[in-house]
Amino acid sequence: MHFDIVLPSVFFLLIASSIFIQDKLKNKISSLFEEAKFSTKEAILTAVWIGIAVTVMALVPGEAIRIFFLTAYSYILFSFTRMLLKKWYIAIFPPILFICSYLFFWNLATFNISVAVFFIIIILYTSGLFSWRTVWIFAALLTIMDVIQVFLTGFMVQSATKMLELRLPVLLILPMYPYTSIINLGLGDIYLASLISIQASAKYRMEVGVLMAATNGIAMFLFEALMLNTRLFTFFPATLVVIAGSIMGLGIARIMKINKRTG
């Protein structure tokens, strides 16, 4: 039987890390948005916008996407560092380091580190905009979009392939172990799992969020094992795995009676 422990472990660690980092910085981050929350309409529009963005990335020339992404990533690094340190002359260095790494020192390690950094910044900026209700509306619509874009239009596959060719850090690229191969996981899948787990931590308690991070790792392990041993699909919408793992975590939390509101 073939299986992999690397991706499920990294998946769990990224989700759990986002929960703890968000808890430490939530007061500083929330002050930027003055407690603003997405309405149901805004959650729906955000999911629709992501679906449109995937289609655009599949159709737009690669160099235009490269320029846009490098510019956007550099700005996000600058603004986040400036927010934390309050010093613009220090905040200019992370974007410079990123661009230099991309141009001269780009390898699997710097690529995946950039993915992790980008993920943490985005989840910190946006997790507070959702409520428990809107995060599930967003998750449901994003999953539907993912299924359509993978199995019907194929735009998700085209976008991911183009991003890999451009060497843009929007998905993890990890070696498997003990099975020897390479596997990819999109940033959006990690983001969705973390977003739901952070909201579970806010609604109930942090233990529930960490439990959901663990069950997402387990769900990813089981899904990978199924894929490696059956070869049913080359590409699969991992948001379905995230939804399954998150529901599994909530179910276990209910059985263990740790899903009590924090206040």
- Domains of the chain, by residue range, sit at 6-256
DSSP state letter for 29: H
**Distance between first and last Cα of the chain:** 46
The answer to whether 183 touches 174, Cβ cutoff 8 Å, is yes
The whole-number pLDDT of residue 31 equals 53
Q: Using alpha carbons only, what angle is made at residue 128 by residues 114 and 131, rounded to the nearest 5 degrees?
A: 130
Instruction: Report the 10 Å Cβ neighbour count for 239.
Output: 22
Distance CA 89, CA 98 (A): 16
Which residues sit opposite 173 in a β-bridge? Answer: 184
Tell me the two tokens of residue 175.
Answer: 């070696």
Give me the pLDDT at residue 233, please. Answer: 74
DSSP, res 4: B
> Taking the CB of residue 112, how many other CB atoms lie within 10 A of it?
16
* 49 vs 43: CA distance, rounded Å: 10
CB 102 within 8 A of CB 70: yes
pLDDT score of 112 = 96
Residue type, 118: F
The token pair that represents 230 in the structure block = 């059956």
For the chain, the maximum distance between any two Cα atoms, rounded to a whole number of angstroms, is 54
Q: Tokens 């997405």, residue?
A: 38
| pLDDT by position in tens, the chain (length 263) | 899 999 999 999 999 999 999 988 877 776 565 567 888 999 999 999 998 988 888 888 888 999 999 999 999 999 999 988 888 999 999 999 999 999 999 999 999 999 999 999 999 989 888 999 999 999 999 999 999 999 889 888 888 889 889 999 999 999 999 998 999 999 999 999 999 999 999 999 999 999 999 999 999 999 999 998 987 777 788 999 999 999 999 999 999 888 776 55
Q: How many CB atoms lie within 10 A of CB 236?
A: 16
pLDDT value of position 81 = 92
Calculate the CA dihedral of residues 87, 88, 90, 96 and round it to 10 degrees. Answer: 160
Alpha-carbon distance of 194 to 200, in angstroms, equals 10
Strand residue runs (E) in the chain: 171-175, 182-186
Q: One-letter amino acid identity for 176? A: M
